[in-house]
Homo-oligomer: A and B are copies of this chain.
Amino acid sequence: MIRLSTTEPGFDAAFTRLVNARREADGDVARDVRTIVAAVRDEGDAALHAFTKKFDRHDLNETGWRIEPADCLLAYQALAPELRSALELAAERIAAYHTGQIPQDTDTTDSAGARLGARWLPVDAAGIYVPGGRAAYPSSVLMNALPAKAAGVERLVMVTPTPDGEVNPLVLAAAHLAGVDEVWRVGGAQAVAALAYGTGRIQPVDVVTGPGNAWVAEAKRQLYGVVGIDMVAGPSEIVVVADGANDAAVIAADLLSQSEHDPTSQSILFTDDAVFADAVAQAVELEIGRLATARVARESWDANGAIVVVDSLDAAMPLVNRLAPEHLELACEMADAHRLFDFVRHAGSVFLGRHTPEAIGDYVAGPNHVLPTGRRARFSSGLSVLDFMKRTSFLALDEGALAQLGPAAVALAEAEGLPAHARSVALRLR
């Protein structure tokens, strides 16, 4: 953890280092992924079988390639009642929020008599990647699958690795609840390639979303254009802007809720109260000991945590915009939070006031928890129904409208040296 104060000499340089720090490993990932992607494209199921044997240590022909809907239903029925109603509440709220995102078609006729519009349609098929192991989260299944279903996607395919053949029943239960149509027990770059190109068994999809390790992220990046993807995701981060009236233990828990995800996660506190800053630093040390995730949280907090003391919370906001954080908590009185929010230009999701912990957005609030990381909130948005839809523009002119607009098109086409363009209009103007 580093501690900074805006009044210290050298603050600018230190803060710039914080902004620019790359927490993403690359190494030979890109090269390995190119090899895997090419093998799946060329050899299909055989490559998928071989990579699964190698990386996940089980034989798909023995464990089975698919997990049947009946098995997902069983997993759902076996949930403890409290967990089942929590998942149901989450699903209901996420579905409602994303249904509200469906864009409206447009269709207008202008003064020239030209009818212009746009029509939104869902993609035919979408694939969602669900990690195995440490990051196998049923909430991620809901956050990826429900926007696709809200968009109207007919065929929703889930891929998830089952290392050593072991399945995660929570993930299957969420797949049932979210209406996933197919579940394949494959993972890694090979699973993304299978979704993009199709194999003998797996039909290709149009869009691939979902979190994954560096290999999965790189496979999505390499296959962008063959399929649509959501975003290249990196290690996640939280920025908490808090005044001294908060409970230090609560803010410490907020910071650690990001740190416990991964050693590369980042948690940063901005406060205008140096005494409160000390209290949070101490509370983090106390809280961290209570966590079953202490090892990861400790590693992340030590390497990437930061506490920045500022003159005023307002003065923190330009710094926050430079960080363009995935998650931003404005932990202060609601009126102050709203004032600060007006200064926010770049953030994935903002949590206002003292009673809105980031974790409430991870699970049940409704907005998506798949958000731009690594400063990408400068230009990209959280996952939404738009990632599973596309827009077709349309034009309809009658003779009168063409007579009005045509001559300008002819002039421009001729100026650009495209005579067939000009002819296609001019021939209709005779």
A residues neighboring B (CB under 8 Å):
82-83, 85-87, 89-90, 93, 96-97, 100-101, 103, 106, 108, 110, 114-116, 118, 121, 123-124, 137-139, 170, 206-207, 221, 224-225, 227-228, 231-232, 247, 249-250, 253-254, 256-257, 259-261, 287, 290-293, 297, 334, 337, 341, 344-368, 371-372, 374, 376-382, 384, 386, 390-399, 401-402, 405-409, 411-413, 415-425, 427-428
- A sample of 15 cross-chain residue pairs with beta-carbon separation below 8 angstroms, ordered by A number, consists of A83-B411, A85-B408, A206-B379, A249-B427, A287-B423, A353-B398, A355-B398, A355-B399, A359-B413, A362-B413, A363-B408, A363-B412, A367-B395, A377-B392, A381-B392
Task: Please measure, in the bound complex, the distance between the C-alpha atom of A105 and the C-alpha atom of B228, giving whole angstroms.
Answer: 25
The chain B residue sitting closest to A232, CB to CB, is: B225
Asked if A393 contacts B358 (CB within 8 A), the reply is no
Asked if A397 contacts B364 (CB within 8 A), the reply is no
Chain B: minimal CB distance from A297 (Å): 6
Asked if B257 contacts A421 (CB within 8 A), the reply is yes
Asked if A405 contacts B287 (CB within 8 A), the reply is no
Task: Please measure, in the bound complex, the distance between the C-alpha atom of A337 and the C-alpha atom of B355, giving whole angstroms.
Answer: 55
User: Do A411 and B359 contact each other (CB < 8 Å), given the known contacts A260-B419, A378-B124?
Assistant: no
Chain B: minimal CB distance from A77 (Å): 16
User: Do A138 and B416 contact each other (CB < 8 Å), given the known contacts A378-B123, A396-B353, A408-B90?
Assistant: yes
Task: Please measure, in the bound complex, the distance between the C-alpha atom of A259 and the C-alpha atom of B420, giving whole angstroms.
Answer: 9
Asked if A412 contacts B250 (CB within 8 A), the reply is no
Taking CB atoms, residues of chain B closer than 8 Å to A382 are: 391, 393
User: Do A395 and B360 contact each other (CB < 8 Å), given the known contacts A118-B367, A408-B85, A416-B137?
Assistant: yes
Those 9 A-B pairs whose CB atoms lie nearest each other, nearest first: A228-B379, A225-B232, A86-B408, A256-B420, A352-B396, A367-B393, A381-B391, A253-B424, A86-B411
Asked if A420 contacts B351 (CB within 8 A), the reply is no
Taking CB atoms, residues of chain B closer than 8 Å to A420 are: 253, 256-257, 259-260, 287, 291, 293, 297
By CB atoms of chain B within 10 A, which of A90, A232, A356, A417 has the most? A356
Taking CB atoms, residues of chain B closer than 8 Å to A227 are: 379
Task: Please measure, in the bound complex, the distance between the C-alpha atom of A341 and the C-alpha atom of B238, giving whole angstroms.
Answer: 46
Taking CB atoms, residues of chain B closer than 8 Å to A291 are: 419-420, 423
Asked if A395 contacts B350 (CB within 8 A), the reply is yes
Taking CB atoms, residues of chain B closer than 8 Å to A93 are: 110, 405
Taking CB atoms, residues of chain B closer than 8 Å to A424 are: 250, 253-254, 256-257, 357-359
- Seed contacts A90-B408, A93-B405, A355-B401; 20 additional CB < 8 Å A-B pairs: A83-B412, A83-B415, A124-B345, A139-B412, A260-B420, A287-B423, A291-B420, A292-B419, A337-B396, A348-B393, A350-B392, A350-B395, A359-B418, A363-B413, A367-B395, A372-B390, A381-B390, A381-B392, A384-B391, A386-B386
Asked if A260 contacts B421 (CB within 8 A), the reply is yes
Taking CB atoms, residues of chain B closer than 8 Å to A110 are: 93, 96, 366
User: Do A416 and B139 contact each other (CB < 8 Å), given the known contacts A123-B379, A395-B361, A425-B360?
Assistant: yes
Asked if A360 contacts B402 (CB within 8 A), the reply is yes
Taking CB atoms, residues of chain B closer than 8 Å to A360 are: 395, 397, 402, 405-406, 409, 425
Task: Please measure, in the bound complex, the distance between the C-alpha atom of A375 and the C-alpha atom of B353, giving whole angstroms.
Answer: 46
Asked if B399 contacts A390 (CB within 8 A), the reply is no
